[in-house]
Amino acid sequence: MSDLSNKHIVLGLSGGIACYKAAELCRALVKAGATVQVVMTEAAAQFITPVTLQALSNRTVYVSQWDAREPNNMAHINLSREADAIVVAPASADFMAKLLHGRADDLLSLMCLARPIDRVPLILAPAMNREMWQHPATQRNMAQLTADGAYVLDVGQGEQACGETGDGRMLEPEEILEGLIAFFQPKVLAGQHVLVTAGPTYEAMDPVRGITNLSSGKMGFSIARAACEAGAEVILVAGPVHLPTPRGVLRVNVRSALEMQAAVAKHVGAASVFVATAAVADWRVADVAGQKIKKDDSGQLPQLNFVENPDILAGVAQSARAKSGALYCVGFAAESHDLLKHATAKRERKGVPLLVGNIGPATFGLDDNALLLVDAQGSQELPRASKLTLARQLVDEISRRLEKV
């Protein structure tokens, strides 16, 4: 199933140049499995035509409260009762001020006011000039709308249509989609603080060469996203990978195993869950050359001496907080063969309650994976699926285990 399967979204457009982004958002919502009913203000229709949104949503677009297609002339009731959520994107400063005061002089604002507030959430994606965004009145309105139960997304930063640069841009469609998907996920980790490591480490030989591995970081990034979706505060310590940071996650970039160890030590004190997904290099070069190591005509390989890197997971698992149950540790094992045997041995050696194993060569760089969960009671397979799907399943498993701690 897609992320928004069986969800019916009313997509509202208020007036603003960001209406052009609503077309792509509508398309993305449909692609994610949702049915979409578009409702526009008359001002929005000055920026993008209803015909465009009708083609993308495959549904008639509503603009006027007096639309004769509704037999009872109550579009604001009929449309709001069918919705799983009302998403207003763009939400202009004027429209948000209108909502704050309960004004309802067009179909979209009337529908937001008339929705069953206990079961139809209102999600707003603000879009306006940077000065309008920073104005105290706008910030007060945002705070009060949040207090009244609306879910107000943040804004983007960058060049604006007016030629100025700053905060106030509407988020990109994929960012709004990610936020909406997260909104619907069960909040099984609410109140938890999760620290995740992800990706490879890079151990320098000289200024231009180094030792690393094939870990893409995708599994760890998916776990960070799934934990954030589940309501946790998440810090992601990421090795050298080129992946976008999941929305709502604080990212700390590192390169080497020693840098990763230092970052973990800095943040683990506030964590209640530690998930060590990173493929940390076992060894590093003892003496990194200050200049590029040149080959000569001797045919001899350069002499490199290695030292063992610290075991980050084992170190955390042996801490007083982990042993007392205040910190729940999850380890990962990327193996090439005999997965159950090696994962079981690694769990016991590291001293963690849960060890997640996978076959590295079968998953590095890919968007899917298959996992083996190993704990004191035995093992459980999570069949091959997308890494985000598996991450959500793992988060559910962690939440159930936390209840027993």
Co-location of 150 and 257 in the same domain: no
Domain final residue pick, 184, 210, 231: 184
Identify residue 275 by its one-letter amino acid code: V
Given the residues 26, 112, 162, 329, the one annotated as active site: 162
Helix 19-31 crosses helix 173-184 at what angle (to 10 degrees)? 50
What residues contact 243, with CB distance under 8 A and at least 6 apart? 199, 216, 217, 218, 221
Averaged pLDDT for residues 133-152: 96
Residue 222 lies in a domain: yes
Transcribe 83-101 into DSSP letters. -SEEEEEEE-HHHHHHHHT
Phi-psi region of 269 (alpha: psi -120 to 50; beta: other; left: phi over 0): alpha
When comparing pLDDT for 127 and 70, which is higher?
Answer: 127
Domain final residue pick, 184, 205, 222: 184
CA distances, 50 to each of 35, 206, 321 (Å): 17, 60, 58
Co-location of 201 and 71 in the same domain: no
Q: What CATH number does residue 263 fall under?
A: 3.40.50.10300
Question: What is the total count of domains within the chain?
Answer: 2
Co-location of 55 and 198 in the same domain: no
Q: Please tell me whether residue 184 adopts helix, strand or coil conformation.
A: helix
Q: Judge whether residue 17 has pLDDT over 80.
A: yes
Domain final residue pick, 142, 162, 184: 184
Co-location of 160 and 257 in the same domain: no
Co-location of 363 and 248 in the same domain: yes
Residue 297 lies in a domain: no
Give the distance, in angstroms, between the CA of residue 400 and the centroid of all CA atoms in the same chain. 21
Q: What CATH number does residue 172 fall under?
A: 3.40.50.1950
Co-location of 81 and 178 in the same domain: yes
Out of 40-49, 169-178, 351-360, which region has the weakest mean confidence (pLDDT)? 351-360
Residues 135, 116: Cα–Cα separation, whole Å = 31
What residues contact 328, with CB distance under 8 A and at least 6 apart? 272, 273, 274, 322, 353, 354, 398, 401, 402, 405
Residues 331, 2: Cα–Cα separation, whole Å = 29
Which tokens is 183 given?
A: 């909104």
Residues 105, 98: Cα–Cα separation, whole Å = 9
**Could you tell me which of 306, 260, 251, 246 has the C-alpha nearest to residue 282?**
306
Q: Model confidence at 349, in pLDDT bands (50, 70, 90)?
A: very high
Percent of the chain with pLDDT over 70: 100
Percent of the chain with pLDDT over 90: 83
Residues 18, 24: Cα–Cα separation, whole Å = 11
Residue 299 lies in a domain: no
Whole-number pLDDT of residue 297: 78
Co-location of 179 and 197 in the same domain: no
Residue 80 lies in a domain: yes
* Exposed / middle / buried, residue 53 (Cβ in 10 Å: 0-12, 13-18, 19+): buried
162 is catalytic: yes
- pLDDT (tens digit per residue) in 47-89: 999 999 999 999 999 999 888 787 787 888 888 999 999 999 9
- pLDDT (tens digit per residue) in 301-343: 888 899 999 999 999 999 999 999 999 999 998 888 888 999 9
CA distances, 368 to each of 219, 363, 382 (Å): 9, 7, 12
- pLDDT (tens digit per residue) in 350-370: 999 999 998 877 888 889 999
Q: Judge whether residue 154 has pLDDT over 90.
A: yes
Q: First and final CA of the chain: distance in angstroms?
A: 32
Co-location of 148 and 202 in the same domain: no
Co-location of 148 and 262 in the same domain: no
Co-location of 55 and 15 in the same domain: yes
Residue 292 lies in a domain: no
Range of the domain at 117: 8-184
Co-location of 356 and 280 in the same domain: yes
Q: Judge whether residue 1 has pLDDT over 70.
A: no
Q: Model confidence at 161, in pLDDT bands (50, 70, 90)?
A: confident
Co-location of 254 and 308 in the same domain: yes
